[in-house]
Structure 1
Amino acid sequence: MPKILVLPHPDCAPHGAELEVAPGTSICDALLDKHVEIEHACGKVGACTTCHVIVRQGGDSLAPPSDAEEDMLDRAWGVERQSRLSCQAIVAEADLVVEIPKYSLNHAKENG
């Protein structure tokens, strides 16, 4: 099974995390299932940018972002070439290294 290495984040993963996940799982669901509480204000439908992540390694294994995802990413804080909405990025067979940006554009943190 592929692994996701989550780089340290002060709120979501202070010490980082290493997750083993099943292929076909979104990065967002994988993080939430392993108690890495990434924000997801739109309910994981790709309609906001609160679950924005930067895929530092392994991103070539992911399907390319849709035009709608790219349009949403234009609104994200700190977007980079490797940025993805974690709710839209589906894990394949390769290991990933993921960074959760320090900030999001969300005004209220969601629970669950």
Structure 2
Amino acid sequence: MPVIKVLPHPEYCPEGAEITAPAGTSICEALLENKINIEHACDMSCACTTCHVVVREGLESLNEAEEEEEDLLDRAWGLEPQSRLSCQAILAGKDVTVEIPKYSINHAKENH
């Protein structure tokens, strides 16, 4: 099972974390299943950018971003070349390291 290393984030994961998830799982699902409550305002339907992450290592092992995701990412806060929507980034067999940006464009947090 691949390991997701989550870099420290002051709100979601202050100490950072290392979690495992089966291949075929989205990064967002894996984070939520491990009590890292990343925002996901559209319920993981690729309709917002609140679950934006920056993949610091292992980007090449994830599925390729589709056009819909790339179009949405243009609106994400702190966009970088390694940015992905965690609800669309599907794990393969290799480990990844992700950073959750400090901000999102969501104006009101939702309790999921």
Query: TM-score if structure 1 supplies the norm length?
Result: 0.99
Q: 1:70-109 counterparts in 2 under 5 A?
A: 70-109=70-109
Which residue in 1 is equivalent to 2:17? 17
Over 2 Å off, 4+ runs: none
Q: How far does the alpha carbon of each residue in 1:34-92 deviate from its partner, in whole angstroms, 9 at most, with x for none? A: 00010000010010000000000001001110000000000000000000000000000
Which residue in 1 is equivalent to 2:51? 51
Percent of aligned pairs with the same residue? 63
Q: How far does the alpha carbon of each residue in 1:6-57 deviate from its partner, in whole angstroms, 9 at most, with x for none? A: 0000000000010011000000000000000100000100100000000000
Distance 1:51 1:62 in 2: 16
- Gaps of at least 5 residues in structure 2 are none
Q: How far does the alpha carbon of each residue in 1:86-107 deviate from its partner, in whole angstroms, 9 at most, with x for none? A: 0000000000000000000001
AA aligned opposite 1:11: E
**Between Structure 1 and Structure 2, how many residues are aligned?**
112
SS at match of 1:5: strand
- Gaps of at least 5 residues in structure 1 are none
Q: CA RMSD of the aligned region, Å?
A: 0.5
AA aligned opposite 1:102: K
Which residue in 1 is equivalent to 2:111? 111
Deviation at 1:111, TM superposition (A): 1.4
